[in-house]
Structure 1
Amino acid sequence: MTMKTAVMTASWSADLERCRLMCESLGRFLSGDWHHYLLVEPRDVAAFRSLEGPRRTIVSETDLFPNWLRAFPDPATLGRRRVWLSPFSPPLRGWHAQQIRRLALARHVDADMLLSIDSDVVMVRPYDPSSMWQDGRMRLFRIDGGISEDMDEHRRWLAHAGKLLGLPAAVSPAHDYINTFIGWRVDAARAMLDHIEKISGRNWVRALISSRAISECTIYGRFVDEVLKGEGHDVSGQALCHMLWSSEAYPETLEGLEAFMAGLQPQQVAIGVQSFVGHEISEIRRLAFSVTP
């Protein structure tokens, strides 16, 4: 069964070259019925236009955000970075804005699935997103009990998700739903935003930014598991993307990158190297495109 997929990537100008490599890998390896949406701040639209094409659209966050949430130069960084200000929240950073863009896209696309792929992800094997579907049910990534008691930030994400969804702040076992190559049902994502507005009595963005402890994957996962009771989804703990999360995991050398690549599992179709880990994009590209399908 062919399902229509809206691939979404929230990015910014500092990650343009990584995003360019990610886009090249999609063109090489992603099959099926898909269209890619690059979600960026207004001042970055022009820089990303070079990536636009028949299967890719650049979307400014002004088309997704309410008019009371806007970006400004961050005085704490002498304007090198941005801060998002509104009357209803503490100042937000870029990673908050990127999550809001991804959530907002659910109400703006004609598709069955949103496939979220981060800028620092590179596909390495052929993949059709329709394979996430089986008999009308979609794959939900979940590591059962993956959040331990000492994972304070994850616990804060769980608590804020619970508040938004009208659920307890804590849950046991606490599952981890986070990955950088992950799918959401569009109908479930829309229902989730409606549910947040019903619970809070406010616009979902205003409710979301009442705390900076935002994890969109956690909110979606808890909504599916605890509100929808798993309806329309099948759980899988197999990550499709092999991630290098920190510079401590492997030496920041070619040999370190090769050691990371050696950990790629047969079911994984992409790798991700966090942008703050010091590996050259050219080396990532060469190793990624040499993987045996």
Structure 2
Amino acid sequence: MAESQLTVITPSYRNDYDLAVDLCRSMDQFLQVPFKHFLIVPKSDIALFAPLRSANRILISKEELLHRHGFYKIPFPKRIYIPGLVDIRTREQWYRPGVGRVTGWLVQQLVKLSAPELADSDYYMFIDSDNVLFRPMKMTDLVSSDSIKLARRPLTPDMHEHLLWHRNALSLLGVAQFDDTKYNYIGHFIVWKRDAILALQQQIEKISGEDWRTTLSKKKAVSEYILYGVFCETVGKAANYHVLVEPELTCSYWTSSEEDLNVPEMAKSLKPTHVALHIQSTIPMPMEKRRRLISALADSAPPKPAA
């Protein structure tokens, strides 16, 4: 993997601005691979995110990336509020002729799958705003036996939505028979290969007979990470795009309440291979408390093994 060819992509928006600030700061300090970082935000948030621009950090709007492919943001209000009667926060909605309404959730996946349009790189890493590096990430963390690592873990029977995404991935790729273990490829600091993304797009178009964005927009229930992973282990298997591994870079914490988060218990999940922390952005927690928590966890992490 050439050290000059890593493009990092982070979709974000105004509610996650402070998280994005911390992510960018940690990348500049700890990502020890030459990189270009694309922050992709709504057009209305460009001014807010402008201070994060730098020589290697580029800010673009989702509208700029998607309008060229016929997607238009529906101007819904972000909140419908009638005192004492209604208080509804609406989700982002898009429209594409021939498809109809497309959710903001799916649009974000289309943005990631459009990575080759952003930069002529061989490798693309995806990092959400609610991640932060706490120690160096080097080339050796991303490769094994000269191949790019792709993390996966088995799906379990109770993961109904993930299993639906897996079934839809097989359908989109034209895989009629699949009897192997089903894996979840959703994660953080995921690296995809340019040639694999382009081959995936071409396979979807071959099966559907139409543009891959149109096909995915109509399918609706799609996970970009599972789709990419299933492609690499089925149709693209012979190309040996990746070496498949257990997740080893990020320690993630998911909960509905900050009261469930405490350093002694959280630290039990930290492994020597972890270089980053992910605390779900929807957990209601003041930023200063979040920063103190991350700092304490970083201090508690077991030593990283020598390269």
State the TM-score, normalizing by the size of structure 1.
0.89
Q: Deviations over 1:189-233 (max 9, x none)?
A: 122112212221211111111122121100100110001116131
Assess, with a 3 A threshold, how the Cα gap between structure 1 residues 63 and 190 changes in structure 2: closer, same or farther.
farther
Aligned equivalents of 2:254 and 2:124: distance in 1? 23
Paired residue for 1:220? 228
Unaligned runs of 5+ in 1: none
Paired residue for 2:75? 73
- In the TM superposition, residue 284 of structure 1 has moved relative to its aligned partner by 2.4
Unaligned runs of 5+ in 2: 81-88
Which secondary structure does the structure 2 equivalent of 1:207 belong to? helix
Contact persistence 1:35–1:56 (CA under 8 A)? yes
Q: Percent identity?
A: 31
Paired residue for 1:183? 191
Which secondary structure does the structure 2 equivalent of 1:227 belong to? coil
Contact persistence 1:254–1:283 (CA under 8 A)? no
Q: Of the candidates 280, 285, 291, which is equivalent to residue 286 of structure 2?
A: 280
Contact persistence 1:88–1:210 (CA under 8 A)? no
Q: Of the candidates 154, 157, 161, which is equivalent to residue 153 of structure 1?
A: 161
Paired residue for 1:29? 30
Q: CA RMSD in A?
A: 2.3
Paired amino acid for 1:242: C
Assess, with a 3 A threshold, how the Cα gap between structure 1 residues 74 and 156 changes in structure 2: closer, same or farther.
farther
Aligned equivalents of 2:177 and 2:44: distance in 1? 37
Paired residue for 1:64? 65
Name the stretch that deviates more: 89-98 or 170-179: 89-98
Paired residue for 2:17? 16
Aligned equivalents of 1:169 and 1:155: distance in 2? 15
State the TM-score, normalizing by the size of structure 2.
0.85
Which secondary structure does the structure 1 equivalent of 2:277 belong to? strand
- In the TM superposition, residue 254 of structure 1 has moved relative to its aligned partner by 8.5
Aligned equivalents of 2:255 and 2:260: distance in 1? 15
Aligned equivalents of 1:282 and 1:89: distance in 2? 43
Q: Of the candidates 237, 243, 246, which is equivalent to residue 234 of structure 1?
A: 243
- In the TM superposition, residue 135 of structure 1 has moved relative to its aligned partner by 4.7
Q: Of the candidates 89, 92, 106, which is equivalent to residue 96 of structure 1?
A: 106
Aligned pairs for 1:29-48 (under 5 A) are 29-48=30-49
Assess, with a 3 A threshold, how the Cα gap between structure 1 residues 134 and 149 changes in structure 2: closer, same or farther.
closer
Q: Deviations over 1:156-177 (max 9, x none)?
A: 1112211221113865411111
Aligned equivalents of 1:77 and 1:170: distance in 2? 44
